């Protein structure tokens, strides 16, 4: 058993095709919206997440600035993941970005992993769009922090919303007390944009809340301590 999966997204942004390409096909660019820190060395794509590494990817298509794709090699159990991006410039300074995330999850217990991956993929694409609309061309510093194991997720989300000055059920467009707004919400994630960066909170697949931010300007917050206090 197992599951083949494919998730598609598309958006129109005001960034140029070159700015979109820099965000999807360079290490610093991917690090502004994806999880962790990504580096590209030749045809190899590596992403560090916390103290570990995600499966290494190999670039399959590199047609600048129109088409970029990379994929991990299938593991012995068949597991792999692939990312593909199509960029189309339009008149009036608009660019259309299309994304496909696909792969295979092995085993009979794929459902929970697939749910977490689907919610996370939606957040990452929304973050990419938010970055291209508000910070195109600017590098960011990725920050990842892990909280303690969570036993009551509704209570943890409530504590987070209170700490951030949000209502009990935040929605995209809700303002933040010190500037900025909510840009994305789903059952596993929360995304915020401020003048200094993109801040994300994720229900980690292994049971902890994860802070995964892209800081456009320096931030001295101890995010591990912040999550411990929730």
Query: CA-CA distance, 183 to 166, in Å (whole number)?
Result: 13
Exposure on the CB side of residue 84, measured as CA atoms within 13 A: 11
Query: CA-CA distance, 36 to 208, in Å (whole number)?
Result: 16
Domain that holds residue 161: 140-230
Spatial neighbors of 198 by CB under 8 A, at least 6 apart, are: 32, 33, 127, 130, 131, 135, 140, 183, 191, 192, 213, 214, 216
Q: Which residues pair with 203 in a beta bridge?
A: 209
Q: From 138, 158, 192, give the residue that closes a domain.
A: 138
Exposure on the CB side of residue 193, measured as CA atoms within 13 A: 20
Closest CA to 116 of 36, 210, 192: 210
Mark whether 208 and 148 lie in a shared domain: yes
Mark whether 68 and 177 lie in a shared domain: no
Mark whether 154 and 225 lie in a shared domain: yes
Reading the chain (230 residues) residue by residue, the pLDDT tens digits are 899 999 999 999 999 999 999 999 999 999 999 999 999 999 999 999 877 788 999 999 999 999 999 999 999 999 999 999 999 998 777 999 999 999 999 998 899 999 999 999 999 999 999 999 999 999 999 999 999 999 999 999 999 999 999 999 999 999 999 899 999 999 999 999 999 999 999 999 889 999 999 999 999 999 999 999 99
């Amino acid at each position: 058993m197992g599951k083949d999966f494919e998730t598609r997204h598309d958006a129109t942004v005001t960034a140029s095709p070159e700015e979109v390409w820099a965000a999807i096909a360079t290490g610093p660019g991917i690090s502004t919206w994806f999880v962790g820190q990504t580096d590209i060395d030749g045809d190899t794509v590596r992403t560090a997440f916390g103290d570990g590494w995600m499966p290494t990817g190999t670039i399959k298509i590199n047609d600048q600035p129109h088409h970029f794709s990379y994929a991990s090699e299938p593991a012995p159990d068949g597991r792999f993941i692939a990312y593909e991006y199509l960029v189309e410039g339009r008149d009036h300074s608009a660019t259309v970005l299309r994304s496909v995330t696909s792969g295979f999850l092995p085993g009979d217990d794929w459902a929970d992993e697939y749910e977490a991956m689907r919610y996370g993929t939606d957040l990452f694409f929304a973050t990419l769009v938010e970055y291209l609309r508000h910070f195109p061309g600017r590098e960011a510093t990725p920050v990842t922090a892990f909280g303690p194991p969570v036993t009551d997720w509704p209570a943890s989300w409530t504590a987070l919303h209170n700490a951030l000055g949000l209502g009990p059920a935040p929605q995209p467009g809700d303002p933040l007390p010190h500037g900025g707004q909510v840009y994305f919400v789903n059952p596993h994630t929360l995304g915020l944009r401020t003048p200094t960066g993109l801040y994300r909170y994720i229900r980690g697949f292994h049971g902890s809340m994860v802070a995964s931010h892209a800081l456009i300007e320096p931030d001295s917050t101890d995010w591990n301590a912040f999550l411990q206090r929730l």
